[in-house]
Chains A and B, each alone.
Chain A
Amino acid sequence: MTTILPSPRHGPPLLEIRDLRTQFGFGPGTVNAVQGVDLRIAPGEIVGLVGESGSGKSVLALSILRLIQTPGRIAGGQILFDGRDVLAMSARDLGRWRGRDIGIIFQQPQGCLNPVRRIGWQVAEPLRQQERLTRRAAWDGAVSLLRSVGIPAPEEKALAYPHQLSGGQAQRVMIAIALALRPRLLIADEPTTALDVTIQAQILELLRDSCRHAGTSLLLVTHDLGVVARLADRVAVMYAGRIVEDGPVATMLDDPGHPYARGLLRAAPRLGQSGGERLQDIPGGIPDLSRAAPGCAFAPRCGRRASLALARCLEEMPPLATVRPDHRLRCWAAPDATGARS
């Protein structure tokens, strides 16, 4: 399959998020799931968003599409899609923008399909609605979409119901539906977490190839570094509602600057590790997101802060500083801009 290299990072970004804040609940127990996130995605770029459970990455993904519902709400910030202010869109514009310019696939593919409708109609529906095709034309379009995502015998499979599909097949169908109208940006929220390991690789390749082929940007939300390694051009790491590091995939997977990112790398099991070695986890747990503590959110768990005895980490939140043109880092304890290691 021919691949189109990602366009260089000049020119206006496709998606620009500025200081986005999303909260859940009211009063003293309000949970600040997303606390001031800045992120940019260029046209045709594949960005991996990595973080553990509770980091706010899924909430961020839903916030971009304004899918957060009570008791949650977007508390501030800006989301610009191709220059348009997403947060200011009317309900009608939002309805037209979703599905056509931006798409999303979720973790549990079978749960996302309507159990009482045949697969073919679910794929054909966006074609019929947004492009006003006839039933026949939409059905044919659906079948060819199913073929393009690798579903064998698509004419027959289109007549099946969701419960008759395997997890991998269901996710392929979701990808087909999401890409049906050729959106400019696709968000994939943990797309392979619920699938068998053997299927994961296939789905990820499908995602990569489909997006490259159509020039669609992809925001891949995951907790799994391995997933990111296969696909992404850039990796952003999230912790406790904030982006803590954001850089090119090569650097991020080899030698990241943030102690948390380094911890994630160390914790990932590798081929070639001897059987006697212990897996290294990051001690401690994520902080309580309903309590605002001054200082860096990772500080209590940070080995580097402890070894360097940096008081500043506990008192002042470090800003997301640009240490290189394509690399940002939020850390007081990172030695210097060139990333010399301790």
Chain B
Amino acid sequence: MSEALLEEPVFEAVPRWRQLLGRLLRNRSAVAGSTVLLILVLLAAFAPLIAPYDPFKINPAQRLMPPGALHWLGTDEVGRDLLSRIIHGTRYFLLICAVTASISASIGTVLGLIAGAGSSLTDGIIMRMIDILLAFPYILMVLVVVAILGPSLWTGMAAVGIAGIPGYARLVRSAVLTIKAEDYVVSVRALGASEAEILFRTVLPNVLSPLIVYLSFATPLAALLASALSFAGLGTQPPAPEWGAMLVNSRTYLFSAWWAVAAPGTALFISIFGMNILGNGLRDVLDPRS
């Protein structure tokens, strides 16, 4: 009835982050991806307790055994238990994700903030530098760093981390520029807030959304690249149970012992897939445009 048209719904004040969390928990992709991530973290944290064997213990008598009761995933070319190596490999995977993301995101964000929030001179200088770096494809940048520093786990991570800086810088800079021009920033400035206050209280929280979405996509890509480096012998070196490095020697036995190749490869695939799905979920919730 016409009276019914006059009633107004009552809105409760729910804190924004709790709203977001609620939406995240209802998003299937986010939940699935988080589950994978959680499993990885648990495996990594309790690896010595969960893994049945010592991942470094060589046992030539048991080399290249197919999956069976003793070794659920089989053994590799020097008799190491694959399941244990996979479980310990989660530590390397998560370490790579964390380190590369930290390097790229922190330095990139700082550069982007300075470029976006600073004068047009600083912006110009920083962006020219970034453009020259971007003239190199991702992989070449990585190769340059590894060539200079020599191959190892840490140089590989540093290389991938450094190569990721321009991407973050560009993203943060364009986000800052867009937000700076928005009306709510202008009005806060008109109310007398200092530039620093504006930067940290108003601009930064709004940059977080696209930053998190970008992070969720860029990190698995970085992990992929780091593993590819290890596979090429330019990153983590064997005998470390890093999934990419495990494939360096196992691939020689591709035809006789395919499980030694399938295990680390599948572990890598599932982990990256999980993170990408989590990224999808985050984007659905955080990015209003899509």
User: Which residues does A use to contact B, with CB under 8 Å?
Assistant: 287-288, 291, 293, 299-300, 314
B residues less than 8 Å from A293 (CB atoms): 1-2
8 cross-chain pairs, A with B, having the tightest CB-CB distances, nearest first? A300-B2, A293-B1, A288-B5, A287-B5, A300-B5, A293-B2, A299-B2, A314-B2
Q: Give chain B nearest CB distance to A310 CB in angstroms.
A: 14
Q: For the complex, give the distance between the alpha carbons of A9 and B65 in Å.
A: 93
7 contacts across the A-B interface (CB closer than 8 A): A287-B2, A287-B5, A288-B5, A291-B4, A293-B1, A300-B2, A300-B5
Contact digits for B1-43, partner A, Cβ 8 Å, 1 yes 0 no: 1101100000000000000000000000000000000000000
Task: Given A300-B2, A314-B2, output 4 extra A-B contacts at Cβ < 8 Å.
Answer: A287-B5, A288-B5, A293-B1, A300-B5
Q: For the complex, give the distance between the alpha carbons of A288 and B2 in Å.
A: 10
Q: How many residues of B contact A (CB 8 A)?
A: 4
Q: Give chain B nearest CB distance to A311 CB in angstroms.
A: 13
B residues less than 8 Å from A291 (CB atoms): 4
B residues less than 8 Å from A288 (CB atoms): 5
Q: For the complex, give the distance between the alpha carbons of A291 and B2 in Å.
A: 11
Closest residue of chain A to B6 (Cβ to Cβ) is A300
Q: Give chain A nearest CB distance to B52 CB in angstroms.
A: 54
**Interface SS majority for chain A:** loop
Q: For the complex, give the distance between the alpha carbons of A314 and B5 in Å.
A: 14
Q: Give chain B nearest CB distance to A290 CB in angstroms.
A: 12
Q: Give chain A nearest CB distance to B4 CB in angstroms.
A: 8
Closest residue of chain A to B2 (Cβ to Cβ) is A300
A residues less than 8 Å from B1 (CB atoms): 293
User: Which residues of chain B from 168 to 225 have a CB within 8 Å of any chain A CB?
Assistant: none
Closest residue of chain A to B1 (Cβ to Cβ) is A293
A residues less than 8 Å from B2 (CB atoms): 287, 293, 299-300, 314
User: Which residues of chain B from 235 to 278 have a CB within 8 Å of any chain A CB?
Assistant: none
Q: Give chain B nearest CB distance to A291 CB in angstroms.
A: 8
Q: For the complex, give the distance between the alpha carbons of A291 and B6 in Å.
A: 13
A residues less than 8 Å from B4 (CB atoms): 291
Q: Give chain A nearest CB distance to B216 CB in angstroms.
A: 31
Closest residue of chain A to B4 (Cβ to Cβ) is A291
Q: For the complex, give the distance between the alpha carbons of A299 and B3 in Å.
A: 12
Q: Give chain A nearest CB distance to B7 CB in angstroms.
A: 11
Q: Give chain B nearest CB distance to A145 CB in angstroms.
A: 39
Closest residue of chain B to A291 (Cβ to Cβ) is B4
Q: Give chain A nearest CB distance to B213 CB in angstroms.
A: 28
Closest residue of chain B to A301 (Cβ to Cβ) is B2
Q: For the complex, give the distance between the alpha carbons of A314 and B2 in Å.
A: 9
A residues less than 8 Å from B5 (CB atoms): 287-288, 300
Closest residue of chain B to A300 (Cβ to Cβ) is B2
B residues less than 8 Å from A287 (CB atoms): 2, 5
Contact digits for B106-143, partner A, Cβ 8 Å, 1 yes 0 no: 00000000000000000000000000000000000000
Q: Give chain A nearest CB distance to B236 CB in angstroms.
A: 48
Q: For the complex, give the distance between the alpha carbons of A133 and B1 in Å.
A: 59
Q: Give chain A nearest CB distance to B5 CB in angstroms.
A: 6
Q: Give chain A nearest CB distance to B50 CB in angstroms.
A: 48
Q: For the complex, give the distance between the alpha carbons of A288 and B4 in Å.
A: 10
B residues less than 8 Å from A299 (CB atoms): 2
B residues less than 8 Å from A300 (CB atoms): 2, 5
Q: Give chain B nearest CB distance to A332 CB in angstroms.
A: 16
Q: For the complex, give the distance between the alpha carbons of A287 and B5 in Å.
A: 8
Q: For the complex, give the distance between the alpha carbons of A293 and B4 in Å.
A: 10
Closest residue of chain B to A285 (Cβ to Cβ) is B5
Q: For the complex, give the distance between the alpha carbons of A291 and B4 in Å.
A: 10
Q: For the complex, give the distance between the alpha carbons of A314 and B3 in Å.
A: 12
Q: Give chain A nearest CB distance to B6 CB in angstroms.
A: 9
Q: Give chain B nearest CB distance to A283 CB in angstroms.
A: 13
Closest residue of chain B to A288 (Cβ to Cβ) is B5
Closest residue of chain A to B3 (Cβ to Cβ) is A300
Q: For the complex, give the distance between the alpha carbons of A288 and B5 in Å.
A: 8
Q: Give chain B nearest CB distance to A157 CB in angstroms.
A: 36
Q: Give chain B nearest CB distance to A296 CB in angstroms.
A: 11
Q: For the complex, give the distance between the alpha carbons of A293 and B6 in Å.
A: 14
Contact digits for B77-111, partner A, Cβ 8 Å, 1 yes 0 no: 00000000000000000000000000000000000
Q: For the complex, give the distance between the alpha carbons of A300 and B2 in Å.
A: 6
Q: Give chain B nearest CB distance to A302 CB in angstroms.
A: 11
Closest residue of chain B to A294 (Cβ to Cβ) is B1
Q: For the complex, give the distance between the alpha carbons of A254 and B83 in Å.
A: 88
Q: Give chain B nearest CB distance to A313 CB in angstroms.
A: 11
Q: Give chain A nearest CB distance to B119 CB in angstroms.
A: 34
Q: For the complex, give the distance between the alpha carbons of A220 and B4 in Å.
A: 35
Q: Give chain A nearest CB distance to B2 CB in angstroms.
A: 4
Q: Give chain B nearest CB distance to A13 CB in angstroms.
A: 36
Q: Give chain A nearest CB distance to B133 CB in angstroms.
A: 33
Q: For the complex, give the distance between the alpha carbons of A87 and B2 in Å.
A: 35
Q: For the complex, give the distance between the alpha carbons of A287 and B1 in Å.
A: 10
Q: For the complex, give the distance between the alpha carbons of A300 and B1 in Å.
A: 9
